[in-house]
Amino acid sequence: MKKTKASLAVLLSTSLLFGCSQEKEEVKPADKNAKETSASASALDDVSSEYREYAIGEIEEFVKATEEFTTAVTSGDIEKAKEVYAPARMHYERAEPIAEVFGDLDPKIDARKGDVKDEEWGGYHRIEMGLWEENTTKGYEEYANQLMSDVNLLRAKVETVEVTPDLLITGAVDLLNEVSTSKVTGEEDRYSHTDLYDFVANVEGAEKIYELLTPALKEKDEKLVTEIQQRFDDVYSLLEKHKEGNGYTSYTDLKESEVKELSQAIDALAEPLSQIGIVTEES
Amino acid sequence: MKENTPNDETSLFTKKVSRRNMLKTAGVGGVGVVIGASGFGGLLNLSDSKANGQTNDVVPFYGANQAGITTEAQDNLYFAALEVTTDNKSDLIQLFKDWTEAAAQMTAGKLVGEASLNTSMPPKDTGEAKELSPSNLTITFGVGPTLFTKNGKDRFGLKSKKPAELKDLPKFPLDALEDSWSGGDICIQACADDLQVAFHAVRNLVRIGRGKTIIHWAQTGFQRTKQADSQKTTPRNLFGFKDGTANPDKKNSSEMNEHVWVKAGDGPDWLVGGSYMVVRRIQMYIEVWDRTILKEQENTFGRHRDSGAPLGMKNEFDKVDLEAKDKNGNRIIPEDSHMSLSRGDGKAKILRRPYSYADGMDPKTGSLNAGLLFICYQRNPSKQFVPIQERLAKNDKLNEYIIHRGSAVFACLPGVKKGGYIGESLFR
Ligand code: HEM
């Protein structure tokens, strides 16, 4: 869950709820200086709409996977629920730059214990606690139903998001910042310890943005592209070591030195990735 | 530190404006007028590092030797030992080139890189030293034995250039070294009269190295500030004793040539003009020391606490006579005192440049976690640091109150001329 953007996003989505639904939401850059230039603007607009398609696709997958997850919970199939929990969340984590725009839904779906008041706490992590800590689905049916309806609402709202180049540029690094501040510390999935799934999904989400921007980036700075690619490869080859079956090892099985290694690889990637704003410059 | 800041001049926003370009154009004159009163006034100061009245707090970066060795110790230290993660030699060389450029800028009181007006990118310089004076910043680079060979592997084809003297220190009695505080492929010693300036330097260098290097360990250090001691007397360490009294004279170049700078014939030529740095992170048992009676404290060092004078003498710089006896025929300066043992026959000398550290509380014991980041420079560790430390480790009275937790050796590279880069002689 993202805390920092909540206020802006809440504002956006309340205006939506109050009947502006025919208007497209726009994520405006905070700084008036932050406008991109005309030369590359149209190319960037294309990239933005391609990204929008990708993100919506992920959210659609997320809806399906959440259906599977919540059905397992309501029907008391605890094994099934545990099995689909982490892979389902990956779709959400990939599309996080878009999903988190809805500051009212993001906490409902993805808040961790302590992020919101206890009596308001629901969503994935609440059910995660039931499944792994209490080893039960009993008493969690309501949370499952609520989660499903929140995710459906997210799907409906996501249509209205307009992706700006700015959202893309900050989104890629934001995804990695998410990894640095919560996934790599094991604080995201503190009951299931499936943090590495979220980790991978965030990295994949960032990679998607990078891929879409690559042609534009290449024109500005070939070396930067090679460097970023190399660093993605480094991160993936580290992650490779922690694969287990179709998924990833439990966070608790990582050694301290392995966590540090992962964290430093993300820093090494995020530094050059933070330069992608160069695409907004006139050549 | 100064730069031209992005402002509301939106017509300029889309253009890439570098500080260098601005300087050039401003110099032409006409363009400056076009820019007009748009807030680029600060620009006029760019080439003038004396702009804020600080005329004498720049230590020259270029020279035959690196600064930060015989430089009068500044108030603060930020030290980082790095590991190199790239295995590409040309990446490594490029890194030293980039570091040299950034270090030259920062030590001159300038910001790193060229200011860009593109708000869709993070600023080149991290910003916390803006407006701050150069603060006598020095940045000193060294290379450790593991840059040459690690686990038996010749990492960058430099093995044949590795000096025999650049190797791990022998194990000394009482050593309690921890890997997490020992070694390193590269070291960066940043010293300045302002901790924020020193931190800024290391932070930006580490940022430039991201993806090629990682931090292995890092330590801040301090001494009393010059404001707090306007007389500039010898600084005291955390045991309350003046520390640095018997150091060789940094201003005496023949003494420095004899004890500190590597000479032709000492080893490989690439290190001539460089110096070996030995670092020991030494924890000091503050609480234990505090309950030690004064006489014992003074016998431990062999000096009086308040004056810093050798025991039995009046003034700090009075002549030391280790043999001097009292009326009962006993030595006045105990044989197992820190001074007696570290001085020995007085032939092997090192240039000490230590800083105190205080890192909060030791979570295990609840005591203050403090000590000395002991840094010293020399021509030849096995003839200088090693025999001294061997004597100390065996008998020093001080050992009751300290414990060595970390250790590293680096060959500090020779100085650099404008247009060259730090490490050039090694990589060439
Ligand atoms: C926490 C550890 C240490 C403390 C608190 C400490 C403190 C002192 C003090 C107070 C003096 C006397 C004043 C002066 O001449 O500077 C001194 C001298 C000296 N220390 Fe240390 N020291 C420490 C560790 C070391 C180590 C590890 C070495 C080297 C192996 C060393 C080498 C020397 C030398 C060479 C002198 C000068 C002796 C002379 O020629 O009079 N010290 N130290």
B285-317 pLDDT, tens digit per residue, is: 999 999 999 999 999 999 999 999 999 999 999
Give the CATH number for residue A223: 1.20.1420.20
Per-residue pLDDT band at B25 (split at 50, 70, 90)? very low
Q: Is residue B101 part of a domain?
A: no
d(CA A219, CA B59): 41
Q: Is residue A231 part of a domain?
A: yes
State whether A75 and A26 are in the same domain. Answer: no
Of A269, A275, A282, the CB nearest to B121: A275
d(CA A128, CA A15): 32
DSSP A206-266: HHHHHHHHHHHHHHH-HHHHHHHHHHHHHHHHHHHTTEETTEE--GGGS-HHHHHHHHHHH
Phi-psi region of B244 (alpha: psi -120 to 50; beta: other; left: phi over 0): left
Residue B24 domain boundaries:
1-47
Report the pLDDT value the prediction gives residue A40, as an integer from 0 to 100.
56
Report the pLDDT value the prediction gives residue B18, as an integer from 0 to 100.
38
Q: Is residue A44 part of a domain?
A: no
Beta strand extents in chain A (DSSP E only)? 25-26, 161-162, 243-244, 247-248
Q: Is residue B150 part of a domain?
A: no
Taking an 8 Å cut-off on Cβ atoms, the answer to whether A33 and B6 are in contact is yes
State whether A147 and A81 are in the same domain. Answer: yes
The closest alpha carbon to A169, from A267, A96, A277, belongs to A277
Instruction: Find where tokens 């790239």 sit.
Output: B86
Of all protein residues, the one whose alpha carbon is nearest to atom 26 of ligand 1 is: B389
Per-residue pLDDT band at A68 (split at 50, 70, 90)? very high
Residue A266: both structure tokens together: 């993300």
State whether A168 and A274 are in the same domain. Answer: yes
**Tens of pLDDT along B366-404?**
999 999 999 999 999 999 999 999 999 999 999 999 999
Q: Is residue A219 part of a domain?
A: yes
Residue B18: both structure tokens together: 């570098």
State whether A179 and A227 are in the same domain. Answer: yes
Whether B244 and B117 have beta carbons less than 8 Å apart is answered as: no
A34 pLDDT more than 80: no
State whether A172 and A145 are in the same domain. Answer: no
State whether A176 and A273 are in the same domain. Answer: yes
Residue A18 domain boundaries:
1-33+164-283
- Name the pairing type of β-strands B76-84 and B213-222: antiparallel
Q: What's the gap in Å between the CA of A45 and the closest CA on chain B? A: 16
Please give the average per-residue pLDDT across B163-172, as a whole number. Answer: 97
- Which ligand 1 atom lies nearest to the CA of residue B371? 1
d(CA A263, CA A234): 12
Q: What's the gap in Å between the CA of A127 and the closest CA on chain B? A: 36
pTM for the predicted model, two decimal places: 0.85
Domain count, chain B: 1
Beta strand extents in B208-314 (DSSP E only)? 213-222, 275-284
A39 pLDDT more than 50: no
Please give the average per-residue pLDDT across B33-60, as a whole number. Answer: 48
- Name the pairing type of β-strands B186-192 and B76-84: antiparallel
Residues of A (251-280) whose Cβ lies below 8 Å from B:
264, 267-269, 271-272, 274-275, 277-278, 280
Q: Is residue A211 part of a domain?
A: yes
Q: Is residue A42 part of a domain?
A: no
Bridge partners, B218 (sequence order): B80
Tell me, what amino acid is at B90?
S
Taking an 8 Å cut-off on Cβ atoms, the answer to whether A280 and B15 are in contact is no
State whether A186 and A281 are in the same domain. Answer: yes
**Tens of pLDDT along B329-358?**
999 999 999 999 999 999 999 999 999 999
**Tens of pLDDT along B84-141?**
999 999 999 999 999 999 999 999 999 999 888 889 999 999 999 999 999 999 999 9
State whether A72 and A19 are in the same domain. Answer: no
Q: Which residues contact B365 (CB under 8 A, 6 or more apart)?
A: none
d(CA A168, CA A152): 24
Q: What's the gap in Å between the CA of B120 and the closest CA on chain A? A: 5
B352 Cα: distance to centroid of ligand 1 (angstroms): 8
B44 pLDDT more than 90: no
Q: Is residue B86 part of a domain?
A: no
Please give the average per-residue pLDDT across A196-203, as a whole number. Answer: 97
B215 Cα: distance to centroid of ligand 1 (angstroms): 29
| CB–CB contacts below 8 A, A to B | 48
Report the pLDDT value the prediction gives residue B19, as an integer from 0 to 100.
35
Domain count, chain A: 2
Taking an 8 Å cut-off on Cβ atoms, the answer to whether A33 and B210 are in contact is no
Residue A109: both structure tokens together: 């779906």
d(CA B284, CA A145): 60
Q: What percent of chain B has pLDDT over 90?
A: 83
d(CA A42, CA A60): 27
The closest alpha carbon to B68, from B355, B269, B280, belongs to B355
**Tens of pLDDT along B217-276?**
999 999 999 999 989 899 999 999 999 999 999 999 999 999 999 999 999 999 999 999
d(CA A132, CA B89): 49
Whether A105 and A155 have beta carbons less than 8 Å apart is answered as: no
Whether A98 and A91 have beta carbons less than 8 Å apart is answered as: no
B11 Cα: distance to centroid of ligand 1 (angstroms): 61
Report the pLDDT value the prediction gives residue A1, as an integer from 0 to 100.
67
Residues of A (16-45) whose Cβ lies below 8 Å from B:
31, 33-37
Of all protein residues, the one whose alpha carbon is nearest to atom 29 of ligand 1 is: B389
Tell me, what amino acid is at B71?
T
Taking an 8 Å cut-off on Cβ atoms, the answer to whether A34 and B119 are in contact is yes
The closest alpha carbon to B281, from B221, B362, B364, belongs to B221
State whether A121 and A232 are in the same domain. Answer: no
Pocket test for ligand 1, best of B276, B316, B338 (most atoms within 8 A of CB): B338
The closest alpha carbon to A47, from A186, A229, A213, belongs to A213
State whether A174 and A185 are in the same domain. Answer: yes
Q: Is residue B182 part of a domain?
A: no
Of A33, A268, A274, the CB nearest to B119: A33
CA B374 to chain CA mean position, Å: 10
Report the pLDDT value the prediction gives residue A269, as an integer from 0 to 100.
96
Pocket test for ligand 1, best of B342, B349, B351, B353 (most atoms within 8 A of CB): B342
Report the pLDDT value the prediction gives residue B305, as an integer from 0 to 100.
98
Report the pLDDT value the prediction gives residue B55, as an integer from 0 to 100.
55
Q: Which of the residues B120, B208, B214, B215 would you substitute to probe the A interface, choosing the one with the greatest number of A C-beta atoms within 10 Å?
A: B120
